[in-house]
Structure 1
Amino acid sequence: MRGRTVIAGIGHTAFGALSGRSATSLIVEATRNALADANVDKTMVDALLVKPSTSAPQLMTGQIVAEALGLQPKLGMSWDQGGAAVIGMISYASLAIEARLCDIVVICFADNPRTGSSEVYRSSTGTDGLFGYVGVPAAYAMIARRHMEQYGTTPRQLGAVPIAARRHGAANPSAQLRKPLSMADYLNEPYIVDPFRRSDCALVSDGGAAIVLMSAERAMQLAVRAPVPILGFGLGQSSWDVRLRQDLTTTCATVSATTAFSAAGLAPEDIDVAQLYDCFSIVPIMTLEDYGFCKKGQGGAFVEEGRIEIDGDLPMNTAGGLLSETGMPGMQLVLEGVRQVRGNANLQARKANTCIVSSQGGIMQTHGTLIIGG
């Protein structure tokens, strides 16, 4: 299937505090922009895949969004793998196109936790809340602390991730947080949950994004301006909660990456640019290890050496990622990967023939890997 499906269009809304906007209205705006980018009329869309809102999930999300868009797709559904749903939907859509179950697919997501409700991010995990295990940061902090104890990962190495993200986000006019961050500023920040400081944690953001998928053959027939081929994808899942895992420092990114690299016929050394899920600073460090860009335990040194900066050998999260562009889970990483491969990113890497994108959900329970290229 290498290159037989393409991302034909991308679109998004503003990111940040968008008072008065519902998730559905944001999806409509983002989808309109994605269809315009692909130069496709909405009447041609026959499949719609929607990631449900995290802050206000509802039944029949796919059908509610279809109604708002004025569509009657023959294939329509909502898809929940947490943040990994983005690449999960791309994978399913690619297979459905290949099987001729559908022709043109819209994949979309939106949420408004910043001006709506962010209560879901603060909830306790069962009775463990009595002992301070409250909210998403606490769970990721356990993983980060274990990585630090096991491999000697340092606070400065954690800080290298948001520093790079903020440098890149400062060049992105769409980024929610465009203020550069120095190491001194980072180390002076208060802890949210040790070892995480404020800048180690993803933004809380309103916003929406969408992409349009079709076969490469269909894109040629429609004279799509800048289709980006999908070279490979893979999924992985750890079914165990953090408290039940035997190993906190390895994830099923190893599984999804192996599948994606095999499908693409590529290896880590063939990748020019990366857009890696960075809900917390430890996540891309571990993803770099699990993807094979460095050995296990060396992810901290990898990022500290500046290799993920725009002028490094693996520019990462070149629009700012979840730490600077928007905290919405994952779709923005695919959009920036497309821009890099097209060569029209705000902060363009010197070489971007191939791009790897990661998405993950829960507390590193689900993982998706996508490889795209020209």
Structure 2
Amino acid sequence: MRVRQQDGRQVHLSYCTNVHPAEDLPGIIGQLDTYAVAIRERLGADVLGLGLWLAAPMAAALADDGEARRQLRTELDVRGLEVVTLNGFPYEAFQAPVVKHAVYHPDWTTPERLEYTLDLARILVDLLPDDAERGSVSTLPLAWREPWTTVQQDAARHMLDRLAHGLTEIAWETGRLVRVAFEPEPGCVAETTSQAVGMLAGADTDRLGVCLDLAHLACAWEDPADAVKRLATAGIPVVKVQVSAALEVADPVAARPVLERYAEPRFLHQTRSAGGHSCDDLDIALAENPAGPWRVHFHVPVHTPPEPPLTATTGVLREALGVVSCDHFDVETYTWDVLPAGHRPTSPAELADGIAGELAWTRDVLSGQVNA
């Protein structure tokens, strides 16, 4: 979906399909019919953008099969769908019963992570609309923070050099530019934009940059304007923005009965207090009970508030959308299926309604119809 900002610049807005479990081509095409077409129709849009997620085995198969890539492009086109960005953070099985730390493997010390990411770039050049200036692939910020040694750091630096070289070759062969965006996340080697600056020091910033996930930014208690300025000063581009909101709780003691409903077994919910206390999951924070306020890495719908007395970091989200310069915006609420009962969609139609609501809200903020 194309959105015209107040300054006249056109940007791409999509939703990330990692909310769906399909990991093979028939399943992906099925989810286009079940969800994406329905969302496009609800929005009254001629074209809907997808932030497509492809599991590693599917990506490898598509990268090796030009006919399959053309088939996927055709399936997108006939449904009024387009892709300018891929989510390359989860490697596979992102909607498994338990994900937690598995999402950080393989990491950027491994050739598997490199090849997966280059496979995605090879696929994306064949999916990009003809008028798209470039494509983007988001990925993890190297690895989970532990263990992390100088040996691993050197291995990751070598992989990033190979990544930039591979992206340069793809651009030379195809004439299409794909950039890779590293996504700071609490608990990882790069949790903050400051650490991302260090991570990408000396890297090829024509090919590599940052994905700003706005829930992660909030959970790190970063000021959006300061974060954007820091990256700009260092010459590191914001390649992609993941439009997301985290849980916020002013008084964890008073909110505990409601907060406990968000402690669930599938995903990791890193929790940070304003005072700097860090917990790697919500159940740990509930046990340790640091003083509030807390922000919890639980992506909640951006257009509706969570269950009181909880709130969302929508203020940080709005502020960030008002100061960041980027052309790829991807709504990434992958947690619809693990929301507490009563807030969770119970049918494909309800999920399509929810995602359409998020996209409409984001479209209106980006276009200035709702103040950022």
Same fold (TM over 0.5): no
Using CA pairs under 8 Å that are at least 6 residues apart, name the structure with larger relative contact order, 1 or 2.
1
Alignment TM class, shorter chain as reference: 0.3 to 0.5
Is the helix fraction higher in 1 or 2? Answer: 2
